[in-house]
Amino acid sequence: MGHQWGMVIDLDRCTGCEACVVACHAENNIATVGDKQAAGGRAKHWIRVERYYEGDFPDVKVKFMPVLCQQCDAAPCEPVCPTFASYHTDEGLNGQIYNRCIGTRYCANACPYNVRFFNFYNPAWDKPLDLQLNPDVSVREVGVMEKCTFCLQRIKAAEIEAAAEKRDVKDGEIQPACVQSCPTNAMVFGDLSDPHSRASRMAASSRGNKLMEELGTRPKITYLQRESWNGDENA
Amino acid sequence: MPPVEKNRMQRRDFLKISAITGASAALDACGSPDHQLIRFIPEEDLIPGVATWKPSVCTVCPAGCGLLVRVMEGDAEVVRNGQLGLMQMGLAKKLEGNPAHPINQGKLCPRGQAGLQVTYHPDRIRTPLMRSGARGSGEFKAISWDEAMKRLMAQLSSLHSGNSHGRLVFLTSSLRGQRKNIAVTFTGAFKNSQYVEFAFFDERVVRTANAASFRHDAPPTVDLSQANYIISFGANFLGTWNSPVAQSLGYGQMRQGRPGTRGKFVQFEPRISQTGANADEWFACAPGAEGLLALGIAHVLIADKLRPASSAGAAGELVEGWSGGLAEYAPEKIEAQTGVKAETITRIAHEAAAHAPAVALIGDAAAAHTNSLFNTVATNALNALLGSAGKPGGIQFGSVWNSGSGKSGVQESSGAAAVQALAAQLESDPSSVGALLIYGANPVFATPAAWRVRQSLEKAPLIASFGSFIDETSILADLILPDHSSLESWIEDTPDSGSVRTVVSVAPPAMLPLHDTRPMPDVLLDLAHELGGNLATALPWKTYDDAIQADFAALYKEKGSKDAKAADDFWSNAQQQGGWWGPEEPAAANEPGGKSTAVPVKYAPAQFDGNPGEFPFYFMPFPSQMLYDGSLAGLPWMQEAPDPMSTAMWGTWVELNPSTANKLGIKQADLVEITSQHGTLRAPTMITPGIAPDVIAMPIGQGHESFTRYASNRGANPISILAPISVAGTGALAWAATRVKISRVGEGSVILFGASLREESPDLKHR
């Protein structure tokens, strides 16, 4: 079997700082939409940090959870696409072929994780902000659905380099932008088909679970639950 | 041969026509007359599509993280010698943390990521400007550098020669390294001159307290990676406080990096911060009572014989009543004032004692009450008692490299009080200031309106700014001599926290400049050489990079290096890896047996401006995760990044407790008016359980009147209504010491990412 890319996110390390959110914008040429469009729910964040409040003052608890495309093995977004723009790559990613997309938005409706974003307008950058654009990533035009790719451009670059050097991609060699930036090392990316990869080993943690797994989506992101302090641990 | 001739002509015509049509097709496509621009000679050694990585230094906050800049070939419109043209050049595409840098070790926060947009900002000042309308009107006309320098020289030379009355004042943000040395030395060469540093979050209270407790005038370097217990009083150390990336790295390690050991984290603050949200236990404590809590915990440690009082050494002696065991701070006695139960205080003291190393932190609002010097000194004493001062798993201090001799003889002052004094001086005698130079600081935005900084600056005879943007302060300038962006400049930095190693970051420009700008230190050096005399001798370097190289020669002489045989190697190695870092040797937190010369501090209740009857709520501004102190509000990535605690974007809000809202008949997203004794502002509400019922909180950062197309006239500025009172004994603004009242004005709206408070705007269209 080829690579099966996956991710582990340790919620006990995540502090909700959102370095991942901005890193993703910078890496993937995600356009800002401005206040009016954002007010209408059209802001695009391929990764977001959800926060959950529990309890009333003063017994308040807050939990953070970064949510991005879960790269499901049984992805609800894929079979609904009439043009096969949403498809499953042989490395297990939920791919999106922008040139095939005709903007039915069926995939966004089908996705239970709310991680697909539609371009209601052509993206625009006030000059010279366009110079910040990453030449490795295509800019999506109006009428096209876009989503997290696990930084496919970085995966491909590493695979090409490894192939040129006649070796396999090393564990940890590929870091999507969110993983690279994360100040607490809460995110780990790796090959789930390799049982020895750091991601595979961490995914087996007893703290691990998957987001809305009961829907049968078979996500490839494992969340390690936040722990509570147990003073005896240190004894 | 006529047919051939004819043929040639035809081909040439054909080429001409196709060039024109091709160009106009391109024009249609991108809406820009690129084809009219001349092309400059391209930068060499660029391979299209292949990225190179260049070190740099992040300048968006004082943490001083190291960067690696991804540079790729591209076409940019640039100005060279006043001529606009197209240039194929290396362009910064992405900022990553520099893995070799001891502070951030390859990581970067959201603000650092967005630093890229400063360079490419559409509203950056592209050329020197001269005021053409009334002061503050925002009307400027472009002038040449020759003209700008001539105008500034005229004023400076008459000041320098003593022909004209008045002093030179240089007002800057917190600077370090040779950049600061050049600015200070330049200023010092003028008679009666004054160098003033101002930044809203300058950690002045923490610095003053650390100087008294530990003889280190610096924020602490916090080693969370080995801590087993963290007690934080209001410090947003995972968000914006001190060195957040270094602290986040340690925090991740503290939580899950040591198999079998997971540290505990307890936070005390009246409004839950992004950092507090990660605590194992979060306690609302009364504003200004943090010092009481620290000493309450210390009392339990001493009384229950968990730690001897004497073990705190000089840091303990600074607290009045320390050797007596702090009986007046017994948990039962401070319960009512702090709002934290006595048994909780006792339990936390016992837990901390049992789980060494335990560390206590204080910052942000807890260090911005009138009594915060006491709060901070008390926290320092607690650290010393816990055995965490200067120890792994505690707070440490690195030795900091001081660029230059530091013997400029200039009157140097920093902090809010210095700006207040400057404003008062300008107000009473404007002509006493012959010229005011401003770099990096925006005091008109970041000081209480009650200080009348804007009105006083308006009276200054000459203001010259080195700013990259027209903001509330630079809009008052007569001359603007725009600086390069940090990615376009040589850069050197000597951060004083974040790593116990001595860090001297350095990097050559990561890319060529886009606009007709010049680095501020180079402008000062040029001026110095032209003015001559003592200035030319004090500032012998031709350029800023010469000055940095000289600093590295001095550094090499003092510190040497194992891996470089000569100073030249040392210098080139440093440029390659983004700086030089010393060995891992923290400086002693205090000399053994050393007695502090500072006077012992005593508890005094925090004072709040406004009487509780009329102004029933404590007003707590807090640093914005994305906009920091407001200086990043101009970046679209920062405006559209959701606030971590609320997911709010593109605006501001005030937070209040549901019971308070209920009592006042205020609903979610209502527009309310917040009034202090010093001003009024309006903002929509965000009702949240994470705030005490007697507190109203508001993020700092929005409310700019003039600061780029993205930030101007958006939201309100909480700093503007603050009371003009300071933290006793420090000269810092007590920005958490204002009381306010609140009333409903009508319906408002908050833009959120996600579903909960989404406001569908009715006229939304799509193509």
Determine the residue of chain A that is closest to B660 in CA distance.
A57
Question: Which residue spans within B121-278 are E strands per DSSP?
Answer: 129-131, 140-142, 167-172, 194-197, 221-222, 229-233, 264-268
- Tell me how far apart the alpha carbons of residues B162 and B257 are, in angstroms, rounded to a whole number: 63
Confidence bin at B762 (pLDDT 50/70/90) = very low
Q: Sort out which chain B residues have CB atoms less than 8 A from A48's CB and list them.
A: 642, 647, 753-754
Using a CB cutoff of 8 Å and minimum separation of 24, what contacts does A30-33 make? A30/A146, A31/A123, A31/A124, A31/A125, A31/A139, A32/B636, A32/B637, A32/B639, A32/B640, A33/A120, A33/A121, A33/B640
Q: Which residues contact B685 (CB under 8 A, 6 or more apart)?
A: B653, B654, B655, B656, B661, B666, B667, B668, B669, B670, B671, B672, B748
Q: Which residues contact B561 (CB under 8 A, 6 or more apart)?
A: B570, B573, B580
- Tell me how far apart the alpha carbons of residues B355 and B228 are, in angstroms, rounded to a whole number: 6
**Cβ-defined contact of A185 to B249 (cutoff 8 Å):** yes
Whether residue A71 is contained in a domain is answered as yes
| Residue closest to B448 by CA, chosen among B376, B523, B388, B368 | B368
H or E segment and range at residue B549: helix B544-559
Q: Which residues contact A202 (CB under 8 A, 6 or more apart)?
A: A8, A10, A188, A208, A222, A224
Confidence bin at B69 (pLDDT 50/70/90) = very high
- Tell me how far apart the alpha carbons of residues B680 and B716 are, in angstroms, rounded to a whole number: 10
Structural domain for A107, as ranges: 5-226
- Cα distance from A11 to chain B (closest Cα, Å)? 10
> For chain B, what percent of residues have pLDDT higher than 70?
91
Q: What Rg, from alpha-carbon coordinates, does chain B have?
A: 28
Pairing of strands A145-147, B479-480: unpaired
Distances (CA, A) of B156 to B76, B149, B153, B463: 36, 10, 5, 11
pLDDT at residue B9, as a whole number: 47
Q: What is the DSSP letter of A125?
A: -
Question: Which residue spans within A133-205 are E strands per DSSP?
Answer: 145-147, 187-191
Residue with tokens 């200039």: B410
Using a CB–CB cutoff of 8 Å, tell me whether B636 touches chain A.
Answer: yes
Examine the pLDDT at B21 and tell me if it is beyond 80: no
Residue type, A233: E
Examine the pLDDT at B14 and tell me if it is beyond 60: no
CA B279 to the chain's CA centroid: 25
Q: Sort out which chain B residues have CB atoms less than 8 A from A67's CB and list them.
A: none
Pairing of strands A221-224, A208-209: antiparallel
**Of residues A18, A126, A131, nearest to B76 (C-beta):** A131
| Residue closest to A129 by CA, chosen among B92, B42, B506, B559 | B92
Highest mean pLDDT among A53-67, B163-177, B580-594: A53-67
Whether residue A233 is contained in a domain is answered as no
Q: What is the mean pLDDT of chain A?
A: 95
Whether residue A231 is contained in a domain is answered as no
pLDDT tens digits along B720-753: 999 999 999 999 999 999 999 999 999 999 999 8
pLDDT tens digits along A188-214: 999 999 999 999 999 999 999 999 999
3-class state of residue B684 by DSSP: strand
- Tell me how far apart the alpha carbons of residues B192 and B167 are, in angstroms, rounded to a whole number: 6
pLDDT tens digits along B334-369: 999 999 999 999 999 999 999 999 999 999 999 999
ipTM over 0.85: yes
Whether residue A232 is contained in a domain is answered as no
- The partner residues of B679 in beta bridges, in order of sequence, read B676
Q: Are A45 and A30 in contact (CB under 8 A)?
A: yes
- Tell me how far apart the alpha carbons of residues B531 and B162 are, in angstroms, rounded to a whole number: 12
Examine the pLDDT at B407 and tell me if it is beyond 90: no
Find the angle CA(A89)-CA(A92)-CA(A93) to the nearest 5 degrees.
70
Confidence bin at B403 (pLDDT 50/70/90) = confident
Residue type, B415: G
Confidence bin at A47 (pLDDT 50/70/90) = very high
| Residue closest to B442 by CA, chosen among B174, B696, B55, B85 | B174
Longest dimension (CA), chain A: 60
Q: What is the DSSP letter of B608?
A: -
Distance, first Cα to last Cα, chain B: 58
Whether residue A35 is contained in a domain is answered as yes
pLDDT at residue B10, as a whole number: 55
Find the angle CA(B683)-CA(B687)-CA(B691) to the nearest 5 degrees.
105
Whether residue A234 is contained in a domain is answered as no
- A121-160 residues touching B, CB cutoff 8 A: 121-122, 126-135, 142-143
- B62-121 residues touching A, CB cutoff 8 A: 72, 74, 76-77, 91-97, 104, 106-114, 116-117, 120-121
Examine the pLDDT at B408 and tell me if it is beyond 70: no
Whether residue A154 is contained in a domain is answered as yes
pLDDT tens digits along A96-143: 999 999 999 999 999 999 999 999 999 999 999 999 999 999 999 999
Q: What is the mean pLDDT of chain B?
A: 91
Q: What is the mean pLDDT of residues B439-450?
A: 96
Q: Are B680 and B673 in contact (CB under 8 A)?
A: yes
CATH number at residue A117: 3.30.70.20
**Cβ-defined contact of B107 to A27 (cutoff 8 Å):** no
pLDDT tens digits along B245-283: 999 999 999 999 999 999 999 999 999 999 999 999 999
Backbone dihedral angles phi then psi of residue B417, each to the nearest 5 degrees:
-60, -35
Q: Sort out which chain B residues have CB atoms less than 8 A from A64's CB and list them.
A: 277-278, 644
Examine the pLDDT at B464 and tell me if it is beyond 90: yes
Q: Sort out which chain B residues have CB atoms less than 8 A from A34's CB and list them.
A: 640, 650
pLDDT at residue B684, as a whole number: 96
pLDDT tens digits along B272-328: 999 999 999 999 999 999 999 999 999 999 999 999 999 999 999 999 999 999 999
pLDDT tens digits along B663-688: 999 999 999 999 999 999 999 999 99
pLDDT at residue B285, as a whole number: 96
Which token pair is B674? 């917040």
pLDDT tens digits along B533-545: 989 999 999 999 9
Q: Are B338 and A58 in contact (CB under 8 A)?
A: no
- Cα distance from A1 to chain B (closest Cα, Å)? 31
pLDDT at residue B481, as a whole number: 98
Backbone dihedral angles phi then psi of residue B30, each to the nearest 5 degrees:
-115, 0
Confidence bin at B406 (pLDDT 50/70/90) = low
CA A137 to the chain's CA centroid: 15
CA B47 to the chain's CA centroid: 36
**Cβ-defined contact of A22 to B637 (cutoff 8 Å):** yes
Burial class (CB in 10 A: 0-12, 13-18, 19+), B129: buried
**Cβ-defined contact of B690 to A36 (cutoff 8 Å):** no
Examine the pLDDT at B24 and tell me if it is beyond 60: no
Q: Are B52 and B44 in contact (CB under 8 A)?
A: no
Which token pair is B446? 């970041």
Confidence bin at B32 (pLDDT 50/70/90) = low
Find the angle CA(A142)-CA(A148)-CA(A152) to the nearest 5 degrees.
105
Which token pair is B757? 């408070």
pLDDT at residue A230, as a whole number: 79
Examine the pLDDT at B16 and tell me if it is beyond 90: no
**Cβ-defined contact of B280 to A229 (cutoff 8 Å):** yes
CB atoms within 10 A of CB A204: 11
- Tell me how far apart the alpha carbons of residues B366 and B428 are, in angstroms, rounded to a whole number: 34
Q: What is the mean pLDDT of residues B456-483?
A: 97
pLDDT tens digits along B577-618: 999 999 887 777 665 445 556 778 899 999 999 999 999 999
Domains in chain A, number? 1
H or E segment and range at residue B85: strand B83-97
- Cα distance from A36 to chain B (closest Cα, Å)? 7
Pairing of strands A208-209, B52-57: unpaired
| Residue closest to B279 by CA, chosen among B262, B271, B261, B267 | B267
